[in-house]
Amino acid sequence: MDPMEPVAGISLEAYAELCALMKDTGTDTQRQVAIAAEQGHDRASWEAAKQAWTERMSDPSTAGMVATAFMPLYQAALARSGPAKTATFEEYVQMSAMIQNGVPFETMYAQFAITGADWSQISTAWVDRLTRDQALASSFGDAVAAERAKLET
């Protein structure tokens, strides 16, 4: 099986678009089904695609290929849905320290009033900046270490 093969008529590109449209639905499966229907996909097709694409991005044998292809598609779809969510350097340091210390994502999301889609946009933007600016990356590493120490006390 080709891990990039569409599932129930939903390609990876279409799945990324659907995920972006559903970015604010949380766990509301009824809203997700309604959005999928608005885009021409019935419940069974949406649920099959969601399960299969999630599995492909989780399976070590296909995750690299599928997730690497998915993320730019998803980021582009999010960008078309409105302005990207941003965070200050200090906020990103705090968010990163929380995650590195094992704080559940949902707890971090609640503290900063963001969603998983927001985190994806914030993290992608900061990773891009940090990989292009070694001095900033060094400052970031030091700041995260200091913040992690605060969280551990």
Residues 12-38 have a mean pLDDT of 93
CB 101 within 8 A of CB 149: no
Domain ranges of the chain: 12-80, 89-152
This prediction's pTM: 0.67
pLDDT digits (tens, 9 = 90+) for 66-94: 999 998 998 889 888 777 789 999 999 99
Query: How many residues belong to the chain?
Result: 153
Instruction: Compute CA 71 distance to the chain's CA centroid, rounded to the nearest angstrom.
Output: 8
* Tokens linked to 55: 């599995």
